[in-house]
Amino acid sequence: MARAPVFPALLCLAVLALAGGADARKMVGVYELKRGDFSVKMTNWGATIMSILVPDSKGNLADVVLGMDTLAEYVNDTSYFGPLNGRVAQRMARGRFVLDGKVYHTYINDGKNAIHGGKRGFSKVIWTVKEYVAGGDSPYITMYYRSFDGEQGFPGDLDVYATYQLTGPYELSIRTNATALNKATPVNFLQHVYLNLGGEGSGDILGHTLQLSASRYTPLDVEMLPSSGRVDPVAGTSYDFRTPTPIGARIRQVMGGKVYGYDINYVIDGEGMRKVAAVRDGKSGRALELWANQPAMQLYTGNFLNHTKGKGGKLYEQYGGFCLETQAYPDAVNHPEFPSVTVRPGQVYKHDMRFTFSF
C-alpha cells in the first residue's frame, strides 16, 4: 500500500520548539488511524493518544480515552493525558543516579524527585512523523525523536522510534525502541493513556472489574518511591487482583501518595510478550486485554483528577479513568536489586504493548 505523506494531518499547528539550544519551527498535527468503526487519534506532540473510538455491546460508539479538545491544551497539560513518557519514566529518587562511577543529576519536577523524564521529557517534545498510513487493513503511524546528550540531565544521544498500529479488529499495538548512540544511559518508557470503558466523562471506573497477571508488587513510601527495595506478594493485601475484582472494592484501603487510590507498581508474572491485565465494564459491555513485554506495570486510578477540564466541556473527577502503565521497575537506576534499565551504545531497548478491545 502506498504511504500517505505526512502533511495531510487533520489539523496542524505551528509551535516554537527548542531543540539542541536552537529555535526551530516545527509542525504539530493530529493523525487518525481507522479500521471500520474502530479509530484512534494521535498527535506527534509527545507521541500522545488523543482518542480511541470503540463500540459497546449495543453498537454505540464512544471515546474511551480521557483528554482535551485542542492541541494547545495538550501542550500545556500537567496530567499526562495520553503521552509516551521517557527518557526514564516514573519517579527517580532525588533526580540522581550513578552510572559507571559517574553521578548524574536530572531535572527535579516532583517535589524532591524527578518524574517521567523531567520537565521536558518525551511527553513535552515534538516527534517527527516518519511514516503514516491512515487506512487499510493495518493503518499505522511511526514517529521519531532524537534525545540529545545532556537532555534533562541524561547521558548520551538516543534514537527513539514509536509505532502505533491497528493490527487487528479493535486492536492497537504500540512498538517502541531506543538505541543508545554513544554513551550508556538508563531508559524506561511508559504509555500514560487514561481509559474509561464506559466512555470518557461517563463517571468513575470503580465498577470496572480488573484482573492482573501479577502475584507480587513493590511497596512504595510516602514519596511514591520503592525505597525499601522490597518485592512483596499481593496475597492477603488490597493489591491482589489475580482474580477479577471491581477496582473500587478495596480502594479505600490503599493510599496512592496522600489520597486514597491505586498508584502502585506490580511485577508481572512470566517473561516476554504476555497478558498483563484484563478490564471489563459491565454497563457498556466493553472489555480490554493488555499484553506487553515489560517486567512491571503501574496501576493508577486517576486519584488526583479533581474538576479537571476534559473534552467537550466535561469535568473529570477523582477515579474518572485508569492507567495501565507497563514499564521497568520504578527508580531501578538506584536499586541494583531490580532488573537493570541501562542501555549501552549499540544496544536497543524494546517496549511493546497490545491493547485489544471487545464488547
Binding-site residue ranges for beta-D-galactose: 192-194, 263
289 as an active site residue: the answer is no
User: What grid cell was written down for 75?
Assistant: 501542550
CA–CA separation, 178 vs 124, rounded Å?
17
**Residues listed for the chain:** 359
Dihedral-angle region of residue 66 (phi above 0 means left; psi in -120 to 50 means alpha; beta otherwise): beta
Catalytic residue among 116, 192, 335, 351: 192
Query: 3-class secondary structure for 109-162?
Result: CECCEEECCCCCCHHHCECEEEEEECCCCCCEEEEEEEECCCHHHCCCCEEEEE
Q: Find out whether 66 and 320 touch, Cβ atoms under 8 Å.
A: yes
Annotated catalytic residue, options 171, 325, 335, 351: 325
Instruction: Look up 192 and say whether it is catalytic.
Output: yes
156-163's contacts with Cβ under 8 Å and 24+ in sequence apart are 156/180, 156/181, 156/182, 156/183, 156/184, 156/185, 156/345, 157/181, 157/182, 157/183, 158/87, 158/185, 158/187, 158/343, 160/86, 160/122, 161/130, 162/47, 162/84, 162/127
Virtual torsion, Cα 314, 53, 39, 143, nearest 10 deg: 50
Dihedrals φ, ψ of 105, to 5°?
-120, 125
Torsion of CA 247, 267, 168, 187, to 10 degrees: 120
Cβ-in-10-Å burial (0-12, 13-18, 19+) of 122 comes to buried
Grid coordinates of 202 = 461517563
Residues forming the active site: 192, 325
